[in-house]
Structure 1
């Protein structure tokens, strides 16, 4: 009796995982709304309660990791839908190509994403053991992230890094979900009787159904193929060489240099680490090439890096000497409810390196 119960017990976890995956797939919109609500809650109350900062950040990191797992389940479900007529973004086409082609890319990209979701939590735990341990953990995490990015650069044959390195969540078309439900409930006969196309009497040719008159523009645009739509996924980013490759290396190594400089500096208001790291990032932008062969995905990724440079106003000496005083004085003039949320964020920005990290 006992020998029969052991295999049954071992088969339960995979069965539960499959049931959970089916539930997430069939209730995607509800799950996404719950994730957004919980994520917004952790943004509104970021300390984040000072004394309970670890609990709050643990909740935030757990939601991010669970959301990443849900993305994997939904991507797997979408890939199984036959003939799904949906248009993927260049980012998703590119990242899906490499995750399906290379297991090493998928593992490294997953590790990099997990570190980015939990790095602030690691710093909070390390800070409780002292500033020396905290900066040691910060440098180690930046080194691991740089190693992961160098591996991704190598795997993709010297193509620029993309953010995020994994495919983003896609919405399962409602039409596909409705068709599956109707098939399960035995409504196929009714759908067969519905006219889908018109057969011409004399020639026997079949004409497809016409679109809704009020939605003709969107219908026509959905049928148009752009240059990126017909490109192979791996050609959505050009290979970098020469100065462009040096620019990519500088972009990858810049956070490590900044973390090491900050760990060695005893004065938060010291401008040297901030100017050094910003100079490296600026040099990386100047060395990259904007040729005629620049793709839409490359322009999108460099646009993200440009916006991310705005975080330098919230880091290091610039924050301590300029931004911090302005924000604290602004907080004193705001209503108590708004100033309370801002004060929680100021507490994070004042004390934690990864709270304003853009990499």
Structure 2
């Protein structure tokens, strides 16, 4: 009876300490955890699932679980980062062995807002959860209630995300949105590195134990390396920039010489630019004019308007068949709104920022504009343009690859993804 009670107590203690142990494991092995997450995502990408009944729902469920787990891991790493920042300098120097590079501009900007506003963190987290789960909700709605229920869920999710983005815009004092609104994993988990002095001492000790280095023979009476009396009869040697050089007498190995590209990359990574000395919140210009704010609001509301138009057209045709998918009105309204929002934003920048959108923007603003430009390209995989034009090319590629060694697998994957692109709204969503 006593042993059973002790076992119950031990099991309870283990269950209580499990969250703390898991948190420590994630913080100490962030690279391994990221690798496992990437592998699982890659597996779900290769299994979109039209060959087996319900497999697309199961595959998307696994993918959604991995994405939500990554949010939790990011939360653990952010808490560890905040805890480490509160430690005294001497303790941090003895307890951390991390190689920190210059943080990216996206990391500086998002970390500023997440650390200065808890409401920003909560809303940004809710937005990420909605983005990671939206396709799964759409699949479940289509399976349970048909096309009518599916489009209701799509409009509801797009409205929720638009409200979150408008609140983030308000919290950042009318600044444009960045994607993603939270710091990335590599910004929260710096690369681990070992102490170079300990590593050198360990290598020297092992080499001495193995007898590969003759210390007395290598060092003279003055404690310095003594060259051989003559190099006669020894083959000529030359230093190489690609292979390590082994010292002929002492056995020490010289590291490879850095290439000019490596030196340039190192210097560029550590040099300070104008954006690096700016306050974090000033990396994005504030939308001070009505035109600039209208452009950002239009960009935020575009998915809601497009989803409502698609729902209306589908309702007119009774949600049956595929004729309503080839209707051009929703597609033209959606792409026009996004393009108009982009042009209004550029005109606003040109009128109030010296240099305009070409030379007056920070690197973070240029990167965000580039992402939004690629978002315009995704309209080729959406709505009427996909059903009337792109779909024929996708079918042609899939059929051309079928029946050929190795390429047949690619053709099957393309064919299965075509099912997702044609039947699910969020499979090609960019916001």
TM-score class normalised by the smaller sequence: 0.7 to 0.9
Query: Tell me, what secondary structure is at the counterpart of 1:229?
Result: coil
The residue that corresponds to 1:287 in the other structure is: 344
Q: Counterpart of 1:315?
A: 382
What secondary structure does 1:230 align onto? coil
For each residue in 1:202-257, what CA deviation from the matched residue of structure 2 results, as whole angstroms up to 9, or x when unmatched?
A: xxxxxxxxx99626545544442111111111111111132111110000000000
TM-superposed deviation, 1:31: 1.6
Match of 1:122 in 2: 137
Q: Quick one: distance in 1 between partners of 2:336 and 2:305?
A: 11
1:255 counterpart residue number: 303
Output the CA distance in 2 between the equivalents of 1:356 and 1:10: 46
Residue 340 of structure 1 pairs with residue 404 of structure 2: no
1:264 corresponding residue in structure 2: 312
Question: Per-residue CA shift, 1:78-119, capped at 9, x if unaligned?
Answer: 441647643111111111111111111000000000010010
Q: 1:113 to 1:50 in 2, by over 3 A?
A: farther
Which of 369, 372, 377 is 1:302 aligned to?
369
**Alignment TM-score, normalising by the size of structure 1:** 0.84
Structure 2's unaligned 5+ residue stretches are: 86-91, 206-254, 315-323, 355-359, 403-407
Q: Gaps (5+ residues) in structure 1?
A: 191-210
Q: SS of the residue aligned with 1:358?
A: coil
Q: Which has the higher contact order (CA 8 A, sep 6+)?
A: 1
Deviates more, 1:36-45 or 1:70-79: 70-79
Question: CA–CA distance in 1 between the matches of 2:269 and 2:394?
Answer: 46
Shift of 1:55: 0.9
The answer for the alignment partner of 2:211 in structure 1 is: none
> Does 2:124 correspond to 1:57?
no
* CA–CA separation in structure 2 for the residues paired with 1:221 and 1:276: 44
Aligned to 2:427: 355
Q: Alignment RMSD, CA only? A: 2.8
Gap change, CA 1:14 and 1:160, over 3 Å in 2 = farther
Q: How does 1:34-183 map to 2 (within 5 A)?
A: 34-47=36-49, 49=51, 51=53, 52-79=55-82, 80=84, 82=92, 85-128=100-143, 129-170=145-186, 171-175=189-193, 178=194
Looking at structure 1, the residues matched to 411 and 372 of structure 2 have their Cα atoms a distance apart, in angstroms, of 30
Count residues in correspondence: 331
Quickly say closer, same or farther: Cα 1:273–1:217, change in 2 above 3 A.
Answer: closer
- Contact residue 109 and residue 165 of structure 1 kept, 8 A: yes
Does the Cα contact within 8 Å between 1:48 and 1:56 map onto a contact in 2?
A: no
**TM-score, normalization by structure 2:** 0.71
